[in-house]
Amino acid sequence: MRKTIGRRDVSRLALALPLAALARPGRAQTTALQVGDQLFGNRSVVEVSGQAEGLPYAIDWKQFPAAQPLLEALNAGALDVGMMGDLSFFTVFAAGAPLRAIGAYRSDPATQAILVREDSPIRGVQDLKGRRLAGTRAGWGQFLILATLQRAGIDPSEVEIVLLPPPEARSALAAGAIDAWAVWEPYVSTEILERGARVVADGRGLSPTVTFVAAHVDAIAAKRAALQDFLGRLAAGRAWVRAHPAEYARYYAGLSKIPEPVVQRSTEQQQAGFIALDDAVVAELQRAADLTVEFGILRDRVDVASTIDRSFTAV
């Protein structure tokens, strides 16, 4: 039986709070976008880069701790658009969610990592045998664990996999209730800088590490112009952040209360930038989606091309 363990300060960002619209005061508003975000990661990008200025619509940002609750809200129509990892998106799409990916940005795959405590006897992947590993259900965490084991020739039955959201997994690792944790930035930098955690494996050669911008089909039909504009602003904001990591770190640290050195390390490691959803990227994502079926994360194969609306551009 899973035991819930007390959460640390970083988990306080998990509250799904509606935030003030980013519209110019006094400007007539005819459209409002309900935007799902995780840990202020995209709100901060739009604001600090100046892309929140002169909006012809309002943005109501709603914050979530991870992809799963965000996708539940998006599927229910409570959001128009949101950002989440590729595999999490495929999971809900396969279940019939009326969503389409309208854009995507990629981070360095090394920023997905399996972490152990500083004092852990685990020094390499083979040392994971017989250990308790935690990761997010049907997302990057669970996928990274299984892909890492497969590459190392370790049968999943030789480890115990515990499916936990990031705040619970973080506390469990600190308490020694799990031996390793598969997670992404900024959690990776937080653990390394604040607790001396070590990386025993990462996503290089295993994960596309693509984040989708996904919209509800009703929003695509009713708010296309606003969604296209928002996508362009988010892409421009991501480019600005790559060129100004220190400035971004100061801003995001103030907004999220995550320490500035953690934010700067995370930003420099990620190097997140928008990509074209072209045939090559779709093929890469299809291979990863097919692996999720092999791993038992997804029951049925997802046709990745059908999940994407290529009529939007991020430039």
User: Could you give all domains of the chain from N- to C-terminal order, each with its CATH number?
Assistant: 9-108+208-307 (3.40.190.10), 110-202 (3.40.190.10)
Give the residue from 128, 119, 123 showing the smallest Cα distance to 148: 128
Other residues' Cβ atoms within 10 Å of the Cβ of residue 313: 14
Please write the tens of the pLDDT for every residue from 135-180.
Answer: 998 888 999 999 999 999 999 999 999 999 999 999 999 999 999 9
Least confident of 12-26, 97-111, 129-143, 194-208: 12-26
Tell me what the pLDDT averaged over the chain comes to.
90
3 versus 76: which is more confidently predicted? Answer: 76
For residue 160, report the phi and psi dihedrals to the nearest 5 degrees: -110, 120
Q: pTM of this prediction? A: 0.84
Average pLDDT of the residues in 104-133: 97
